[in-house]
Amino acid sequence: MQNPLEKSLPQTSVVGACTVTDCKFNENHECHAGSIEVRVSGNGAECGTYTPEGNTRPRP
Ligand code: SF4
């Protein structure tokens, strides 16, 4: 059992699969952005790094 006073190390997560196929970072349902920002809105969590193909700026 882990010591409750011990701080856990930062975790790196990986996007397992992404269904947003019109994003320029999506290749065969895999994210190649390197890192992403997750935002929470009224619709729930969404990817803040999403960038439509042909657009060079991420979603505001
Ligand atoms: S940046 Fe976001 S929307 Fe685009 S492929 Fe990666 S996880 Fe999907």
The pLDDT tens digits for 24-55 are: 999 999 999 999 999 998 989 999 999 999 86
> What one-character DSSP code corresponds to residue 12?
-
CA 24 – CA 42 distance, rounded (Å): 25
Q: What band does 7 get if pLDDT is binned at 50, 70 and 90?
A: confident
Q: What angle do CA 55, 44, 15 make, to 5 degrees?
A: 60
CB of 15 closer than 6 angstroms to any ligand 1 atom: yes
CA 56 – CA 25 distance, rounded (Å): 11
CB of 20 closer than 6 angstroms to any ligand 1 atom: yes
Q: Which atom of ligand 1 is nearest to the CA of 49?
A: 1
Closest residue (by CA) to atom 6 of ligand 1? Answer: 31
